[in-house]
Amino acid sequence: MPPQAERLPARLLAFADALRGEGVAVGTSELLDAFAALQQVSWSSQRAFREALACTLAKSPEDRRTFELVFDRFMFRAVEAIAIEPQMSERLGEGDAGAGLAELSDQQLEELRMRIAAALADGSEGAMRDLARLAIAALAREAAGSGVIGVDVQRIRRSLGLKTEPQPQLPPSDPRRDGVPREALRRFEALLRAELERSQARRAQRLPPARPLTELDRALPSGPLADLAAVHRVVAQLRRRLATQGMQARGHARHAQVDVRRTMRASLQTGGVPVVLKHRPKRPRRPEIYVLCDVSTSVTSASVFFLSVLHALHDSFRKMRSFVFIERVSEVTDVFEHERDFRTISEKITKDAGVADISGYTDYGRVFSELLSLLEDDLHPRATLIVLGDARTNGREPRADLFGQIAARAGRTFWLNPEPRLYWNYGDSVIGAYETHCRAFECWTTAQLEDFVKALTRPGEPPRELARAR
C-alpha cells in the first residue's frame, strides 16, 4: 500500500515530536538512526518494531519508560484515528455488537469474575485484554456511562470484587482469596481504561484530547528502600562532581599566588634569574556542611527520604554535622559516624534523640533559637547550611528573624522542602518567610535531589543576595 508507506515518515516524525513533548531528547541523528534501524527489521512483529525504535530513540532507563508510555498512547491514538474514519467504523461497528450483550445472569457474572481473577493471578496479557473487553460489555449497563473514565474503571473493578488485600471470607477455590497481585491489577485497570477510551472515541466519532504524562505515570515503580539506593547513587555523583569540579577551579585559579621561596630556589638552576615561576598550590575548598532535618509526623513519609539523604551525605563528606528536630533540636553526628546501617540509625534517632517534647508538633521558632545558641560560634562564611523540612509551624511563631541571623553567619543556606511548590505558603506553611534568607528547593524525588546537587556544586554559584532577589 503506497499511501501507507509514504505516511510512515510523517508518522514517525509526529511520534518523535510526542516524545520531545515529554522531555526525551530526540535529535535528527537519532531519527536517521531510527529509519536505518527500521529498514533492517521486519515490521510484522510489533515487538521488533518497538525495540528498533526504542534502542535508537530512548537512551536511558527513564527515557525508555517514557518511550513505552508514549508509544502505547501514540499507537492507540493512531489506530483509533483510522477507526473513526467513516468507512472503517461501519466495519468495526459489528465488533461492537458485543456491547449489546443481554444482561448476564448472576451465575455467569460470577464465572466472569472467577476467570478474570484467574487471568490476573496468571498474568497473561492476551487473556486480560479479552476479559477486559468482556467485562466492559457485561457491566456497561450498570457500571459505565458516568462519562468519566476513571470513575467507570473503579466501578467495574469494584463490581468484579478485585482487591489486592486477601479476602479470607471467600471459598478456598476462589483465586481472589489471597488477594490479586498488585502489578497485574494495575495492568488490568490500564487495559480497562484503554478499552473504555476506545469505545468512547467510537461513540463520539472523535479522539479525546491528548493528555500529557503526569509525574506519577513516569515515576519508576519503587519502594522507599529502592529509593535509598537511588539517593546513595545521587550523593555518590555529588561527591564525584565535587571532586572533578574542584580540579577545574584549581586550573582556573592556578596563577593566583606566587610562592617566592620556591621560585627563588628554582632560580638557582638558572643562575639566579627567576625564569620559572612557582605558584602556591591552591587548596580546594572543602565543603563544611551543617544539615538540619525535620523528623516530625507531618513529614513522616519524607523523613525516611531525608534521613537517607543524610546517611548518604555522611558517607561522602567528612566535615559534616547533622541535627534532627521536632520541637527541640539534637545533634546526631555521632550516630551517623558510629553506625553504618540505615535501619539502626533511623531506630536510634527516633528512640534516643529526645527531640519531641510534649505535643510532637514542629516548633520552628524554638528550634532556631536553640540552634543559634548552639552554633553561634561555629558557623562561618565557608559553611553550608541545609534545612530539610516542610516549614509548617502548626500555628506557632516562625521566628524568621532568628533564621535570618543563622543564615547570615553561614556562607550558603539551602532549604529542601518535601512538598510540591503548589502547596507552599498555604495553610500553616511559612516557607515564604524563610525563603527571604535562603534558596528553597522542592525536593521529594531523587531527580529533584539531583537538581539540588547541581545547584549546590555549580562553581559560579550566584551570591545569596542574588538568589534572594529572585
Partner 1 sequence: MPAPPRSVADVEEGLRTAGYLPGQATALVSYLAVRLGKPVLVEGPAGVGKTELAKALATMLERPLVRLQCYEGLDEAKALYEWNYRKQLLRIQARDGDAAPAPRAAEPAQAASGGAPAAAERPPGGTDASEPADAAAARDGQWQRIQEDIFGEDFLLARPLLSAISAPEPVVLLIDEIDKTDQEFEAMLLEVLSDFQISIPELGVVAARTRPVVLLTSNNSRELTEALKRRCLYLWLDYPSLEHELEIVRLHAPDLDGAVARRLVEVIDMVRALDLKKPPSIAESIDWARALLLLGAGNIDERVFTETMSVIVKHRTDMDLVAERVGVRLAAPAQAASADAAAS
Residue with cell 533540636: 329
Residue 318 exposed, middle or buried by CB count within 10 Å (0-12, 13-18, 19+): exposed
337 to 148, 306, 311, 400: CA distances (angstroms): 54, 17, 9, 31
CB of 396 vs partner 1, minimal distance in Å: 37
Residue with cell 543563622: 406
Measure the CA–CA gap between 130 and 128, rounded to whole angstroms: 5
Rule CB under 8 A: is residue 271 a binding residue for partner 1?
A: no
Rule CB under 8 A: is residue 252 a binding residue for partner 1?
A: no
Rule CB under 8 A: is residue 30 a binding residue for partner 1?
A: yes
Asked if residues 292 and 260 have their Cβ atoms less than 8 Å apart, the reply is no
One residue of 162, 228, 291, 456 binding partner 1 per CB under 8 A: 228
Rule CB under 8 A: is residue 51 a binding residue for partner 1?
A: yes
CB within 8 A of 441, min separation 6: which ones?
414, 415, 416, 417, 448, 451, 452, 455
One residue of 11, 12, 31, 33 binding partner 1 per CB under 8 A: 33
Measure the CA–CA gap between 249 and 233, rounded to whole angstroms: 24
CB of 31 vs partner 1, minimal distance in Å: 11
Strands 329-331 and 320-325: antiparallel
Residue number with CB closer to partner 1 (56 or 298): 56
Residue with cell 477486559: 132
CB of 23 vs partner 1, minimal distance in Å: 13
* Strands (E) located in 89-177: none
One residue of 8, 13, 14, 25 binding partner 1 per CB under 8 A: 25
Tally of CB atoms within 10 A around 386 = 24
Q: Which of 132, 461, 329 is nearest to 321 (CA)?
A: 329
One residue of 31, 48, 83, 134 binding partner 1 per CB under 8 A: 48
One residue of 154, 199, 200, 237 binding partner 1 per CB under 8 A: 237
Rule CB under 8 A: is residue 239 a binding residue for partner 1?
A: no
Give the interface segment with partner 1, choosing from 79-87, 184-192, 226-234, 378-386 (CB under 8 A).
Answer: 226-234
CB within 8 A of 468, min separation 6: which ones?
436, 437
One residue of 14, 36, 81, 151 binding partner 1 per CB under 8 A: 36
Residue number with CB closer to partner 1 (47 or 91): 47
Rule CB under 8 A: is residue 407 a binding residue for partner 1?
A: no
CB of 47 vs partner 1, minimal distance in Å: 6
Measure the CA–CA gap between 95 and 109, rounded to whole angstroms: 21
Task: Give the containing element (helix H, strand E) for 442.
Answer: strand 439-442
Rule CB under 8 A: is residue 226 a binding residue for partner 1?
A: yes
Rule CB under 8 A: is residue 56 a binding residue for partner 1?
A: yes
Measure the CA–CA gap between 231 and 278, rounded to whole angstroms: 42
CB of 75 vs partner 1, minimal distance in Å: 18
Asked if residues 371 and 292 have their Cβ atoms less than 8 Å apart, the reply is yes
One residue of 2, 4, 47, 87 binding partner 1 per CB under 8 A: 47
Assigned C-alpha cell, 281? 598550590
Binding flags for partner 1, 167-206, as an x/- string (CB under 8 A): ----------------------------------------
Rule CB under 8 A: is residue 41 a binding residue for partner 1?
A: yes
| Site residue total, partner 1 (CB under 8 A) | 34
CB of 231 vs partner 1, minimal distance in Å: 12
Residue number with CB closer to partner 1 (52 or 367): 52
Rule CB under 8 A: is residue 131 a binding residue for partner 1?
A: no
CB of 61 vs partner 1, minimal distance in Å: 6
Rule CB under 8 A: is residue 340 a binding residue for partner 1?
A: yes
CA-based R_g, the chain, Å: 30
CB within 8 A of 235, min separation 6: which ones?
309, 312, 313, 315, 316, 453
Rule CB under 8 A: is residue 22 a binding residue for partner 1?
A: no
Tally of CB atoms within 10 A around 376 = 11
Rule CB under 8 A: is residue 221 a binding residue for partner 1?
A: no
Contacting positions for partner 1 (CB under 8 A): 25, 27, 29-30, 33, 36-37, 40-42, 47-48, 51-52, 54-56, 58-61, 64, 223, 225-226, 228-229, 233, 236-237, 240, 244, 340-341
